[in-house]
Structure 1
Amino acid sequence: MSTVTHPTTTVNINPATAISTLAGFQPDSTVIRYAGGDLTYSELDLKTARVAVLLAARGVTTGDRVAYLGLNSSAYLVTMLATFRLGAIFVPVNFRLAGPELRAVLSSSGASAIVCEPGHGAAVEAVREYTKLRHFLLIDDDPQLPNETEIPGYWEPWARLIEAVEATPAASAIPRGFDDPAILMFTSGTTGLPKGVVLTHGNIWWNAVNVDSRLDTRRGDITHAVAPLFHIGGVNALALRTIVRGGTLIVRRSFDPAAFLRDLVSYQVNSFFAVPAMLAALARVPGCFETELPHLRTAVVAGAPVAPTLIQRFARHGILLQQAWGLTETAPFATHLPVERTLDKLGSAGIAMPYTEVRVIDPNWNTQVAPGVPGEVVVRGPNVTPGYWNNPEATVAAFDDAGWFHSGDIGYLDEDGYLFIVDRLKDMIITGGENVYPAEVERALADLPGLVDVAVVGAPDEQWGEAVVAIASLADGACLTLEDVREYATEKLARYKLPRRLTLVPSVPRNASGKLDKIAIRRLATEGP
């Protein structure tokens, strides 16, 4: 029998290429609906190409980093796709970060260029000297943005520059393969210092394959994007996948539950990604459960444990929430609860995605545990990050010799292989879908006048999933309120990291070795002194 030898083929999975292809086949289809201006596929492709030309003229090339600072908007997606078009690495920045945090992210990324909304220009100015930023593009063509009267001269308003670029830039997107880095997304470490998670084009692509294999997603879907796009869930759960398949993305700058409900109805939304706090707020909108949503097929919720009562309440009204679990490092989904198991596996984060492996191990011995036995959840698969940016120590610590990524989350698999998350090996707090590390908050409060000792933990909260709680002891004669604590930490921390509750105690519980007694502290946070 004769055989045919085929040449080695490199598959181009660059999302910018997919947009260009769709612009050829469905140029007049609306891809982005946004209050600041809708875009068709041809318009998105052209604007992306022009911004890529602007960045290239400023020296941005393959492997360079381009930062974006701002809320959800079409400019976010344009900048990301323009960065991909050049083979560069996109760095979405959490717009809630305070000065020291912003400085750490921009400095660590080594970004040479940034695209920014006017309202965040002052924050960049405050840390600019500590970064490698050399080029500053200011978004000035979005009527949703506030007007700034004084803009430093080094900022270049991008509207006139975009218009001046040749109408049909000739250069096509640089082909990208599975191992090429696409996004550098920063997440806090256990010490509170940011770690840059490298996500390759392969990580993004394999998550999309997992999603399409398990969830009811279709070409032409209308997807709602109101969860922050600087988070991996916001951008890569459904949003990016929707636009590279010919669908329409409804982009909203911030979450308003009543407006969200109106959008679901008026745009006949098929899918969305949300964190539990968003759905809890939606449930409180008058008339929410009397509203018919016949077009909604895929409602994915992740970012924090979902209260079973919330799942049941939505289910009684015909909306089956699909819980998923993952991290930035897993791009984002490692598990997903199939819609048909929403109620009989209530509270489960689901089963492993089709092209992802999930195990539960004894964290002390790195051995797999039996069903029903809690342990650390570990993940392996092509959707998992290759490691942390310029941080080999963190990469080595996160992966074992067999390639399993250690999530730091504690959970168990039931007899059917369904994952239940029960705690976190690390002390991370998840409030409203945002990660907060107690050590970071404790450091920010350590030198507060009148404060003797402080511990920070999370406590259950109906609205936010968890609330940041400070347990503190004071010096004799000192008097501190929650408002005092929050005001003191405001310049050091993003607002979502500030304590929402303060409990004063004679002394903060510590064990014999002087370490914080987290069991006793959590009891104080939930039950009081």
Structure 2
Amino acid sequence: MTHPHSPVDVNPASAVARNARYQADVVAIRYPDGDLTYAQLDDKAARLATVLSDGGVADGDRVAYLGLNSASFLVTMLAAFRIGAMFVPVNFRLAAPELERVLDKSGARTIVCEEGHRARVENVRGGTALTRFLLVDDDSAVPATFGVPGWEPWSGPIAAATPTPSVVAKSFDDPAILMFTSGTTGLPKGVILTHGNAWWNAVNVDSVLDTRRGDVTYAGAPLFHIGALNSFALRALVRGGTVLVRRAFDPVGFLDDLATYRVNSMFGVAAMFAALSRVPGVFDMDFTSLRAVVVAGAPVPPALIELYAAHGVLLQQAWGLTETAPFATHLPAERTLTKVGSAGIPMPYTEVRVVDANTNQPLKPGEAGELVVRGPNVTPGYWENPEATAAALDDEGWFHSGDIGYLDEDGCVYIVDRLKDMIISGGENVYPAEVERVLSTMPGVVDVAVVGAPDEQWGETVVAVVSPAEGVTLTLEDVRDYASAHLARYKLPRTLKVVPDVPRNASGKLEKLVIRRMVEEGG
């Protein structure tokens, strides 16, 4: 007999509910303010789902979260998924104008927020669709202020709510997460990530990394980034493992966690591992439990890879973007030392090509061109932005990354540069166009260019090359003070170079190569 076709449910909230039924007492989330077993996690998410529904959140609506890494972040995500809503994790480092644009574009009417960010939401709420404001009040790391008009401490409604009895089933094409990334123009673009994007990335990761049921995954990089959220953390909850959530990365604290909880897997950026390597006695620690370490977000210095490898820790480079959910390539552990500096080979269920950026034709090994990606982990497009979607995704489904790289004879990918001159500082993306746009409005500034310069601590640092008006003296402090009202701190210039004229070509475009040379040579 034939069975009617029934699409598989790939909603992570369904998997967590299943884990709550069959392994209720296993710790799902370890967090300083109190661990949550699968039964407790599922119950709290189900109660919050009811609170959200009662406030008008329905299938397809957006729920925003603003705060540092916490159990509350993951509870909110699962509650949104449970009722079919999209989760919008917001970068907590955004300055007010950026925060307003992201919240406005998302169309979210409900936000869950930590006390540390409440005032900033309050300042921009008029420019958004937000109507309901839930305040996390049960986390001792961020004590809440009670009695603030318009804000509901969330613990009361959660405790009083009846848990939502079932989870809305979701298939591959249903949207799950709306994650904003700065465009090269400096305006945020909302990347739609489907339940299928997350699911296929998990299949890719589990196919090539030594991750196991019951693993302890360390989550210290910001969860509002796709790398930290979707490399291991979300998958660990689906598989029934334990996520060790830390509000931020602390090198000394990480070593304590490694010893106490025998961490098995983690995602990090190069700056995290550079900081860890500077802790006295770090390599006297027992790293044997740590089987799967993915480093992405910025190229990893070969010397850092070799340092860790010499002590038995294989840092596995990966490459991808928010739009690829996140990994398109990964360097297997056994190739860590034979292919130092490579971002690896394509993931099993993902295609990667190097093409001529003008003709779109594939290039031969050794020839540098634009990296393009195709596969079920690739975003279907940008939120309410058909122009950006059409520019990034071609007719054959290839996503154009804007990154320049090449393949070697063995098919390993090497990243050379970024088509759009993006700077990566401490794992955070900084788009020069965005910083240039802000600084060009500063009184006394005639012209400005922003470039990245190598930096031992941050990977890259932001350098502003400025031409001032006659008689005007500009200092780095002046520039940072002005920009800080408009930009997140990590985007502020750390170095200022004052020049009579900023080099531009005949068509008025900034000559970035000449400008970088000026910065490097100090000329």
Residue 106, structure 1, aligned to residue 107, structure 2: no
**Which deviates more from structure 2 when the two are superposed, residues 471-480 or residues 239-248?**
471-480
CA contact (8 A) 1:197 1:328 kept: yes
Distance 1:221 1:526 in 2: 45
1:195 aligned residue: 189
Deviations 1:245-264 (A, max 9, x none): 11111100011111112211
Distance 1:12 1:154 in 2: 37
Distance 1:396 1:151 in 2: 47
Structure 2: gaps spanning 5 or more residues: none
Residue 156, structure 1, aligned to residue 152, structure 2: yes
1:367 aligned residue: 361
1:152 Cα deviation after fit:
3.1
1:429 aligned residue: 423
Q: 1:406 aligns with which of 390, 395, 400?
A: 400
1:219 aligned residue: 213
Q: Over the residues paired in the alignment, what is the CA RMSD in angstroms?
A: 1.0
Distance 1:7 1:448 in 2: 64
Distance 1:514 1:304 in 2: 30
Q: Map 1:102-251 to 2 at 5 A.
A: 102-148=99-145, 152-166=148-162, 169-251=163-245
| Identical residues among aligned pairs (%) | 68
CA contact (8 A) 1:360 1:369 kept: yes
**What residue identity is the alignment partner of 2:306?**
Q
1:36 aligned residue: 33
1:447 Cα deviation after fit:
2.3
Q: Map 1:493-508 to 2 at 5 A.
A: 493-508=487-502
1:159 Cα deviation after fit:
0.8
Secondary structure, in 3 states, of the residue corresponding to 1:195?
strand
Aligned residues: 523
Deviations 1:251-284 (A, max 9, x none): 0001111111221121100010000011110010
Secondary structure, in 3 states, of the residue corresponding to 1:237?
helix
Secondary structure, in 3 states, of the residue corresponding to 2:191?
strand
1:284 aligned residue: 278
1:146 Cα deviation after fit:
3.9
Distance 2:333 2:324 in 1: 21
1:59 aligned residue: 56
**Which deviates more from structure 2 when the two are superposed, residues 503-512 or residues 179-188?**
503-512
Distance 1:268 1:99 in 2: 40
2:81 aligned residue: 84
Deviations 1:34-61 (A, max 9, x none): 0111100100000000000000000101
**What residue identity is the alignment partner of 1:95?**
F
Deviations 1:463-483 (A, max 9, x none): 111111101122232222111
1:506 Cα deviation after fit:
1.8
Distance 1:292 1:525 in 2: 42
**Which deviates more from structure 2 when the two are superposed, residues 514-523 or residues 195-204?**
514-523
1:482 aligned residue: 476
Secondary structure, in 3 states, of the residue corresponding to 1:368?
coil
TM-score (norm 2): 0.99
Secondary structure, in 3 states, of the residue corresponding to 2:239?
coil
Distance 1:305 1:442 in 2: 24
CA contact (8 A) 1:460 1:526 kept: no
1:295 aligned residue: 289
CA contact (8 A) 1:48 1:82 kept: yes
CA contact (8 A) 1:471 1:524 kept: no
Distance 1:284 1:170 in 2: 48
1:100 Cα deviation after fit:
0.6
Distance 2:220 2:384 in 1: 31
2:410 aligned residue: 416
Distance 2:41 2:391 in 1: 41
Q: Map 1:253-402 to 2 at 5 A.
A: 253-402=247-396
1:8 aligned residue: 5
Distance 1:95 1:179 in 2: 28
Residue 517, structure 1, aligned to residue 514, structure 2: no
Distance 1:211 1:170 in 2: 31
Deviations 1:426-463 (A, max 9, x none): 11111111111111101111122222211001111111
Secondary structure, in 3 states, of the residue corresponding to 1:224?
strand
1:163 Cα deviation after fit:
1.0
Secondary structure, in 3 states, of the residue corresponding to 1:141?
coil
CA 1:78–1:523 in structure 2 vs 1: closer, same or farther (change >3 Å)?
same
Distance 1:364 1:160 in 2: 57
Structure 1: gaps spanning 5 or more residues: none
**Which deviates more from structure 2 when the two are superposed, residues 156-165 or residues 59-68?**
156-165
TM-score (norm 1): 0.98
Secondary structure, in 3 states, of the residue corresponding to 2:286?
coil
Residue 27, structure 1, aligned to residue 24, structure 2: yes
Distance 1:138 1:209 in 2: 35
